Amino acid sequence: MELPLYYEENGDMMNVKKMLCLMIVWLCLSGCSLQTAEKSDTDKIVVTMLYVSDLPNLEKLVETTYTDIDLQIEKNTLGTIDGETERRLRNGHGSDIVASTIATGDVLNYLADLSADDYISAYQSGIMRKTAIDGKNLFIPLPAQYYGYIYNATLVRENGLSVPKTQDELLAMLKKAKKEHIGTDENGSDFAVDGTSAITATFAIATKIPDFFGLSAGIRWLDNLKNGKASFKGSLETCLDLPLEMIKKEYMDPHPFASVSNAAPILEKMSSGKLLMAFDNVTTLDDIQKNSSYEFDMLPMFSSEGNPSWTVSAPTAFLGINKALTEGGNKARLDACRKILGLLSTPEGQTAFMMDNGAAYSYLVDYTQIPDIVPDGIKGCIENGYNYNISMSNDFMRYFGNRCNAVLCGQADMESAFAEVDEYRKNGSKQSAKLLGTIDHDMIVENYNVRTEETEIGNLISDAVREMTDADIAVVNGGSIRGSLYEGDIYSYDLDYVCPYEDNIIILKVNADVIRSMLSNSLSAMIRDDGIPGGRFLNVSGLKYSFTVPDGNSSAQLVDVTLPDGTPLDEKAVYTIAVTDYMAGSGGYFDNNGDGFTMLNVYSNDTPKAKNVKLVRETEYTFHSILEKYIVSHNDGEIGSQIEGRITSVDEHE
């Protein structure tokens, strides 16, 4: 395992760019590129890259500098290396340029050695040395994000609150804010962490930096951890002291940490003044500021023992090259990838990425950090070198954050959770290698397709649910499908990536109006401000439906619903339908939970119970377990699925 934390030694860690400065620099650099680049009539070399967001400025820079290259970004929640991305690489579906955290284990077998590439020397030796694997450089670091406490400076100023400088002062400010209802949301909270496992892990570690990782004891612990002589249990339980105290005093809501809950909507609440403070990064701060009339700033992590405050940072990601390109017949694409990483390793390449991503600090040796993009509240820490860089493998961060979440929402006790973390660190996950059956062809999750259209894997899972529950209709929300199935043998651990959530399937009785209302809601989040379609989109079995194509002016609208043979729904009939308890309100509908399926509510007392809906029975099935049972029951032959026209779109403008 890689050393989880390291102190950023470079003395040149000064202030970084203001967005306006970035834009000016970019315009100048783009102008130079456009003057020298000429359009090519020949076929371009297509280079693919999996990432969590669009990168339009980087694409523009690459394609104007190298007119023979077409850089294509596949936007996906699986944009960093984790188990599913490793599966894609292993099964020949990996992107050419691989975005990752510090990769470990088998993932390293799929990354090309970049050590001999000239652009490696452009980066600070400290980070390249500490991220090298067996002396080899397998990736380059993208610019870093700073993490800290985002707060509503307007509310603090106008209500006479004191900007905290210590952890005790932070708690005192939250206490006063709660008492006077300043920046308090509908759940009675003034502070939030979004609850995703990686952010929770970062927050937990960050709380320990001033009083542990910045001291000799913490440095020794990290050395021992690297050598397998240290453990989380008995050493780091206090990393949850602050969030647990915040929950106990009701400054922070524990619900976002539960496995059945969505991430807390920090952007919406902070922008509207309904939340005083949150832990997150500079990009989130920038997004909040763009969508609000309030003024915001960021504060560092505070000591409870009088030690200096610290900021926390981490490279947005690391980029490597798919090792498969080093094999015969791929030289053109391999060379194109090296050119792209080389271009990204220049000041103009860093600027283009920082404009796309909002990152704040470049690791290039010769990059001039233009001041004022760093929030005022953390400038002192940056100038004085009080910054820790978190560098932990994505799989481990997710697991550690998952166990922290379980403690914070009361689903696990501290001792057992941290014992599990130590076990995972030493031996990895306890994946079952039980052979289930065989899939006859690849069923790929990519470009959020399970959230926007009919897919083979969506049909397979919804068919499995309908057959195993004997319901008339089964629906599977696209956000529950997280990984692909690949041709060949399917093992039980494969389904951990395909259907990782533990929501239970229930059977309801509903009428035609409820079905139409449910499908209309499933289409309501196909276009969102972040460009990522919502996970409420429904894959179906036992139904066919069509909808209008959403555009910038209107959301998708339900056009028609029929049974599979085209027969209209019977307005007088009652249908049995298999859904998850999550959709039916088991976790409530606050903060976007339940994905807005209030027309199915049979559980939540905070929302009116649904009309014309009756709970028939609860099952212990999850999508994971029901798909496993389905594959086993059909293992006398290869299992397949195809597009059948269950879900179609209609373009109103054609």
Per-residue pLDDT reduced to its tens digit, 248-291: 999 999 988 987 677 888 999 999 999 999 999 988 998 899 99
pLDDT range class, residue 77, cuts 50, 70, 90: low
In terms of Cβ atoms closer than 10 Å to its own Cβ (0-12, 13-18, 19+), residue 162 is exposed
2 belongs to a structural domain: no
Contact yes or no for 294/204 (Cβ under 8 A) = no
Residues 332, 199, single domain; the answer is no
Any residues with CB less than 8 A from the CB of 27 and at least 6 apart, and which?
none
Residues 523, 620, single domain; the answer is yes
Ramachandran angles phi, psi of 361, nearest 5°: -145, 130
Q: Round to whole Å and give the CA distance between 440 and 333.
A: 29
Structural domain count, the chain = 3
458 belongs to a structural domain: yes
CB atoms within 10 A of CB 168: 12
CATH number at residue 395: 3.40.190.10
Residues 344, 446, single domain; the answer is no
Residues 277, 181, single domain; the answer is yes
Residues 167, 85, single domain; the answer is no
pLDDT of residue 134: 84
Kindly state the tokens that stand for 600: 């199915």
**Looking at the predicted structure, is the pLDDT value of residue 80 above 80?**
no
Kindly state the tokens that stand for 222: 């990290």
Residues 300, 397, single domain; the answer is yes
Domain that holds residue 420: 145-314+391-427
Residues 223, 153, single domain; the answer is yes
126 belongs to a structural domain: yes
Q: Round to whole Å and give the CA distance between 300 and 321.
A: 35
pLDDT digits (tens, 9 = 90+) for 548-563: 988 877 789 999 999 9
DSSP-derived pairing of the beta strands 144-152 and 311-315: antiparallel
Residues 268, 400, single domain; the answer is yes
**Looking at the predicted structure, is the pLDDT value of residue 118 above 50?**
yes
Residues 601, 540, single domain; the answer is yes
pLDDT of residue 432: 60
**Looking at the predicted structure, is the pLDDT value of residue 226 above 50?**
yes
- Of the ranges 184-198, 380-394, 446-460, which one carries the lowest mean pLDDT score? 380-394
* pTM listed for this prediction: 0.76
Tell me the average pLDDT across 107-130. 89
pLDDT of residue 372: 64
**Looking at the predicted structure, is the pLDDT value of residue 369 above 60?**
yes
335 belongs to a structural domain: yes
> Highest mean pLDDT range out of 70-84, 124-138, 317-331, 456-470?
456-470
What mean pLDDT, rounded, does the chain reach? 87
pLDDT of residue 223: 79
